Structure 1
């Protein structure tokens, strides 16, 4: 029984897929429930589980879990910037963007927040990070910064000084790292994403 779970690793898996591991069991769903009660499985939401790392011997990936809890989605905003080491603050929820309605999921693994983004902007600046046995979708640093600006209600970058204050004081991003970023992603986002004028001010700041 446990050997079957070990092969799953840290990939989130549905109730039906778990039940298929035990074809001899008529009440497959009850078997899944028993595994959860025994601490072998961790319930992420209705119908979706992840194997306890004590069983799989594989560390959980909150980025991978986030992609599966609410799809399509990708890691972004402060979570992505923190992942890349571009901001110093700890992020207390896993932040993602989705073309669906905004939602939050409180799980035993942590809090997962999803913010809605329009379809035209969704695919700009999204990349896949490949690990040994899995991969997940995450915003590039440029896209993560755009998403953060666009979805921070009090942020309105009208002047170059606003950009400097926001980057250095509000989110404490290293300006030298910012200057290495790809302007094309900012330009594409400014055309179709929210707060295009603020993103354009950011572009103007980088073009100085």
Structure 2
């Protein structure tokens, strides 16, 4: 039988926990007891993660974000910060999803999900492995596309506007920007919004 330690830092739902305590008359009471004692951390109704003190594994907010509401992938400022491309700390864990936009708040933080088109969703996603934990995250290119699309009233039509936005507003790592894969911006321009901006970025990056 799987133990809480073996679950590690992967979020689990009520059904998994119930199967671990077949002899208990009230699994709800057992889970509440484990939550009060700090063994389990409640992520949302019916979903928990084992405390690092119990599992011996550090929590991954990116993995939790994937499980909390899906299909989804970590993106926008959260991904850009993860890759070290922007200096500012991010106030929430930001993800993209094909479902309706949602927000969850728990003791680990704020998790925000923004809806995007189904055709646009799979472009530029990769599986990242960090500290033996695998999760889905946008490539830097896709994270930047997501941020540009979903920033209200952001209309970048000229090269100077784009570079000013990156350098002064985002304080973006410009050396990394000029090394980006222009093909992902091309794909986003085909099916996403703000096509003019992405086509201009392609012109800046394309050899």
TM over 0.5: yes
What is the deviation of 1:57? 1.3
What is the deviation of 1:23? 1.1
C-alpha distance in structure 2 between counterparts of 1:94 and 1:148, whole Å: 13
Decide whether the 8 Å contact of 1:163 with 1:205 is kept in 2. Answer: no
Normalised TM-score (structure 1): 0.95
Decide whether the 8 Å contact of 2:10 with 2:64 is kept in 1. Answer: yes
- Residue in 2 aligned with 1:63? 62
Unaligned runs of 5+ in 1: none
SS state at 2:10 partner: coil
- Residue in 1 aligned with 2:203? 204
Q: Note the aligned Cα RMSD (angstroms).
A: 1.6
Normalised TM-score (structure 2): 0.95
Unaligned runs of 5+ in 2: none
SS state at 2:87 partner: coil
Give CA deviations for 1:16-43 in whole Å, capped at 9, x if unaligned.
1011111111222221121112211110
What is the deviation of 1:14? 0.4
SS state at 2:114 partner: strand
- Residue in 2 aligned with 1:37? 36
- Residue in 2 aligned with 1:158? 157
Decide whether the 8 Å contact of 1:157 with 1:202 is kept in 2. Answer: no
- Residue in 1 aligned with 2:78? 79
- Residue in 2 aligned with 1:99? 98
C-alpha distance in structure 1 between counterparts of 2:75 and 2:166, whole Å: 17
- Residue in 2 aligned with 1:145? 144
